[in-house]
Amino acid sequence: MKFIYKDLLNFLSEKPSIKNLSERLFQLGHEHEINGEIFDMEFTPNRGDCLSLIGLARDLNVFFGKAKPYKTFEGDIEELNLDFQNLSPEVCPKISFLEIEIEGNTNEYKPYLENYFSLLGNKKVNFFTDISNYVSYELGQPTHCFDAKTINDQLIFENRICEGSFQTLLGSNINLAGNNCIFSVNSEIVSLAGVMGGISTACSTGTKKALIECAFFIPEAIIGKSVKYNLASDAAHKFERGVDIQIQEKVLRRFIEIVREHASIKNIKIQSFDEGKVQKSSIPIDVKRINKILGIDLAEEKYVAYLNKLGFGIEKEIIVPTYRHDIASQNDLAEEIARVIGYNNIDSKPLEIAKKLDKSVDDVNKLKNYLIKNGFSEIINFPFTANEEKKSISIDNPLDTNRRNLRTSLKNSLLDNLLYNERRQKDSIKFFEISDLYTKSDQINQEKKLGIIISGRQGHNYLDFSKKLDHAYLSNLLNQDSDNSVLTIEEISRTEIKTKKKDKIFYLEIPIEKIPKHLFKLSESSIDRINFIKYQSVSEFPSSTRDFSFSISDIKKYDAVIDHLSDLNDKNLKDAFIFDFYENKKLNEIKVGIRFIFQSTLNTLSEEEIQQSVNKLLKPIVDLEGVSIPGL
Amino acid sequence: MSSLDKINPPAVTKNVGTLHPINQTKDYLLNLLTHLGFTEVHGPEIESEDFNFDMLNIKKSHPARQMHDTFYVENKSNVLRTHTSPVQIRSMLESKPPIAFSSAGKVYRKDDDATHLPMFHQVEGIYVDADVNFSNLKDLIHQILHDLFGKDVEIRFRPSYFPFTEPSAEVDILSENGKWLEILGCGIVNPIVLKNCNIDPEKYSGLAFGLGVERIAMLKYGVNDIREFYKSNLDFLGQFK
């Protein structure tokens, strides 16, 4: 919600600078951004009472004193004899109506009203609605303006199940469903109460006589309606968070005053329907308890003074203002005091929790360590899937209706992970995931499972480069020398997943509790993994691979070649490894194969750029006598 | 003897894999809390509304309970937990003070954009004993943030609102570029929650706090887009060795 700095100052006896005001707002817990003289506020959902100038000022009064900047109409007003029936007083215990008629033209808006539109970017609609919107900004109470001539029969308020179409005053058609608070005339719904009025009874620029409705609706009756019908409604935002049940007549008198400042009033009548349900809420004065909650030592005199400045009544007990729906306990009052003192001004006091333990490495972490040491990377996947089985748990309100079930296996997620990386030219993939899986039978079942997927080369070093990740590899990794009949390794057919790669894919899934214990013993100690490195952006551009084979006939040069290959440096070189090493004893010659992988984070590398990098990387080697690259 | 016999073959480097950076961060936080005296407890990701909301003083009318914020499953019989706090509730029901529990794991909310995901991770802690107060909470939060971001980090507490704590606070740290960054939420356990867990709020009080693991990981590793963590890209994961 946006406020004009100068509007807010009108409600404060002191006139703080923007900076000072901003600091105090943060201290009170009101986050905001400042653009020039506009404060864009973000209030926590429990502070609906702050959604107005007067509301925010009530909090700030504790620092800057109080001023009353506005006038209300104080004259006598004739009683309105409205044909109105409230069929749901439990959701609307208080409602007031003002019938107001003007004559002649309206005047140019005074600066305070004009600024509300021009500086805050609000759109003018018509005279009565403009005032209604301004009053809500000033006092936090929404009002709704009916064109009086359209309310030509009994007006009924009720909270009931509705069906059918309703056209809002903004012209959108919504299909009503479920319980709604509505106003109706002759069985026609004329307003979605607390959210938005209807087009058939809305005021227009020609309206001279309006019926202004001003009510207290309980938040529970309004919550969720604007979202349900996709209506942007400031009124609903305020009613959902709770308005002041005692402010309605004051608001209508302020409404009259603003009309009076801009037009000639021909007639005004007012009527209130009050179910008399306002209950005085009070909390015992107990400063010891407050000090205990906060860990401070505040004198009672100061305590009650702070609360008084925040608008609380001080009698035998602390009287909670009717607009503070968030205050019900000593802890709530402690928060009020902490806000006034400032959270940052409350000293820290040492806390020693008795039990101190070192976290032991549990079985799952031992297993993870073992897999990681063997080149596996851990994956975390979302559980949502399109696959549906009898045992699948379905989500009633999925984000994506095509993925409305919880996965019952890790297989498809890990297969997707593998294929994703194959498309990014990865030729050695070893992934695992450990996750709880949920299924249903006559109850919801939870099982923690390990999934492992492999495909491609066993590794990039010259011993593993030409070996493939296969059944034997996985079996050897997991079987060791024990009985592993529970470990079932499955080959996933490439035909079914329609990929051109030839490497076989092997998969294993097993509940953690069924994993043979010897596997956990393979890695007793924890890897020291916590190394908060600074991550480098991953390139979205394709990589290019170049392989080179050196013939080293002068064996004395071998160490120089290896040293150079271990210390390669080029901005486009992403990876390099020796994938081949061969000693030809007959010819007294060594062959070394190296693979360069080039990739840039800025662009797809051109052939020329790659060649420049290759030349730079190879030059120190090819310059060596007795070292050659056949074919170069 | 051939001259080749004197040469050493190139070193064979075995590729080491990686623990997922989110789990690295989660484990780091859990280790820290264990060191501070918290015992790790676990709970299910599919929860009843009772444990996920009601016991935590999140009323039926609270916006978080709406279908647009929370995933409901199996005809609204349960929810995907929206926080790890239900684990604390379950554990408190089975214990007597003093208690100090930590819990961590996946949580779900109906969000999906550059800064929010439908699944993310939380780490939480709760401590209940006689005379636990807001000053103690501040001390604990300082210990945690000093460990994570160094002794010199500037810390700011702001009033906030959580139904399960009162008073509630959000805590920011001052970043290198001079902007305040929100790090965690915390507060004094609402006496209603203690009462719901059969703990006498007249005798005991508690403090609680929760951290978003992805948020901490993004700050510590310098990752700008939360979605990077869940792409399973080996080029990304391979950096966190």
Q: Residue holding tokens 């509007």?
A: A7
Report pLDDT for A485.
64
Q: Region B102-129: what's the mean pLDDT?
A: 93
Residues of chain B neighbouring A447 (CB-CB closer than 8 A): none
The three-point CA angle B207-B211-B217 to 5° equals 155
CB-CB under 8 Å, A588 with B4? yes
Residue B210 β-bridge partners: B124, B185
Facing B138 at nearest CB: one of A348, A399, A590? A348
Distance CA A554, CA A631 (A): 18
Kindly state whether residue B23 falls inside one of the protein's structural domains: yes
Contact A534 B190 (CB under 8 A): no
- Asked whether residue A382 falls in the same domain as residue A440, the answer is yes
Tell whether A539 is covered by a domain: no
pLDDT over 90, % of chain A: 79
Quick one: pLDDT band at residue A536, thresholds 50, 70, 90? confident
Domain with A467 in it: 363-521
pLDDT over 60 at A526, yes or no: no
Full DSSP string of A602-618: SSPPPHHHHHHHHHHHH
Q: Give domain status of residue A590, yes or no.
A: yes
Q: Which domain holds residue B143?
A: 13-152+188-230
pLDDT digits (tens, 9 = 90+) for A115-131: 999 999 999 999 999 99
**Both A216 and A298 in a single domain?**
no
Q: Does A315 touch chain B (CB under 8 A)?
A: no
Contacts of A358 (CB under 8 A, 6+ apart): B34, B35
C-alpha span between B4 and A456 (Å, rounded)? 32
Residue at B7 is within a domain: no
Mean pLDDT, range B16-41, rounded to an integer: 94
pLDDT at residue number A394: 96
Q: Say how far apart CA A409 and CA A387 lie, in whole Å.
A: 10
Domain edge (last residue) among A274, A299, A330: A274
The domain that holds A286 is classified in CATH as 3.30.56.10
Say whether pLDDT at B1 is over 50.
no
Is residue B128 domain-resident? Answer: yes
Is residue A353 in a domain? Answer: no
CATH of the domain at A560: 3.30.70.380
Q: Does A328 touch chain B (CB under 8 A)?
A: no
Is B145 a residue whose pLDDT tops 60? yes
Q: What is the dihedral of CA A251, A257, A259, A265, to 10 degrees?
A: 120
Residue B241 is assigned to a structural domain of this protein: no
Angle at A582 between CA A578 and CA A583, to 5 degrees: 135
Same domain, A308 and A431: no
Residue B116 Cα, gap to closest chain A Cα (Å): 13
Please give the average per-residue pLDDT across B18-29, as a whole number: 95
Backbone angles phi, psi at B139, to 5 degrees: -60, -45
Q: Looking at beta carbons, which residues of chain A come within 8 Å of B80?
A: 395
CATH code (residue A129): 3.50.40.10
DSSP tally for chain A: helices H, then strands E: 19, 29
* B131: confidence class by pLDDT, cuts 50, 70, 90: very high
C-beta of residue A325 within 8 angstroms of C-beta of residue A223:
no
- Please identify among residues 566-625 of chain A the ones whose CB lies closer than 8 Å to any CB of chain B: 577-578, 581, 583, 585, 588, 590, 592
Measured distance CA(B166)–CA(A334) in Å, rounded: 8
Q: Give the pTM.
A: 0.90
Domain count, chain A: 5
**A455-476 pLDDT per residue, tens:** 999 999 999 999 999 999 998 8
Of B16, B36, B233, nearest to A375 by CB-CB distance is B16
A259 in the same domain as A175: yes
- Measured between CA atoms, the residue of chain B closest to residue A463 is B12
Q: What average pLDDT does the structure give for chain A?
A: 92
Q: Is the pLDDT confidence value at A356 over 90?
A: no
Chain segment A464-515, per-residue pLDDT in tens:
999 999 999 998 888 655 555 678 899 999 988 888 888 999 999 999 998 8
- Whether residues A466 and A395 share a domain: the answer is yes
Vertex A377: Cα angle to A375 and A379 (nearest 5) = 165
A340 and A258 belong to one structural domain: no
The set of residues, in sequence order, having a beta carbon less than 8 Å from that of A518 and lying 6+ positions away, is A480, A482
Q: Centre a 10 Å sphere on the Cβ of residue B111 and count the other Cβ atoms it contains.
A: 14
**Stretch (H or E) spanning A335:** helix A330-341
Chain segment A248-295, per-residue pLDDT in tens: 999 999 999 999 999 999 999 999 999 876 778 999 999 999 999 999
B18 in any annotated domain? yes
C-alpha span between B229 and B222 (Å, rounded)? 12
Q: What is the mean pLDDT of residues A360-366?
A: 78
Q: For the segment B149-190, what is each residue's pLDDT rounded down to a tens digit?
A: 999 999 999 999 999 999 999 999 998 888 899 999 999 999
Shortest Cα distance from A334 to chain B (angstroms)?
7
B23–chain A nearest CA distance, Å: 9
Neighbours of A17 (CB within 10 A): 9
Q: What is the pLDDT of residue B63?
A: 73
In a shared domain, residues A183 and A309: no
Does residue A352 fall inside a structural domain?
no
Q: State the burial class of residue A558 (Cβ atoms within 10 Å of its Cβ: 0-12, 13-18, 19+).
A: buried
Given an 8 Å threshold on Cβ–Cβ distance, is A332 in contact with B166? yes
| Chain A nearest-CA residue for B221 | A534
Query: What are the chain A neighbours of B136 within 8 Å (beta carbons)?
Result: 295, 348-351
Compute the distance between CA of residue B33 and CA of residue A162 in angstroms, rounded to an integer: 52
- β-pairing, A544-552 vs A627-628, is antiparallel
Task: Specify whether A308 is located in the same domain as A380.
Answer: no
Which residues from A are below 8 Å from B98, CB to CB?
353-354
In this structure, the answer to whether residues A491 and A550 fall within a common structural domain is no
Chain centroid, CA A291 distance in Å: 34
Q: pLDDT band for position A620 (50/70/90)?
A: confident
Within a domain: residue B164?
no
What pairs with residue A95 in β-bridges?
Answer: A215, A273
Contact assignment for B35 to A359 by CB distance below 8 Å = yes
Q: Residue B161 in contact with residue B142, Cβ under 8 Å?
A: no
Beta-carbon separation of A380 and B238 below 8 A: no
Contact yes or no for B15 and A428 at CB 8 A = yes
Q: Is residue B61 situated within a structural domain?
A: yes
- In chain B, the residue whose alpha carbon lies closest to the alpha carbon of A237 is B63
HEC string for chain B:
CCHHHHCCCCCCCCCCCCCCHHHHHHHHHHHHHHHHCCEEECCCCEECHHHHCHHHCCCCCCHHHCCCCCCEECCCCEEECCCCHHHHHHHHHCCCCCEEEEEEEEEECCCCCCCCCCEEEEEEEEEEECCCCHHHHHHHHHHHHHHHHCCCCCEEEEEEEECCEEEEEEEEEECCCCCEEEEEEEEEECHHHHHHCCCCCCCCEEEEEEEEHHHHHHHHHCCCCHHHHHCCCHHHHHHHC
Within a domain: residue A36? Answer: yes
A115 with A58, same domain: the answer is: no
- Unique residue bearing structure tokens 């730079």: A616
Which ipTM score applies to this complex?
Answer: 0.94
For position B23, which CATH number holds?
3.30.930.10
Number of domains in chain B: 1
Q: What is the per-residue pLDDT for A564?
A: 86
Whether residue B34 is contained in a domain is answered as: yes
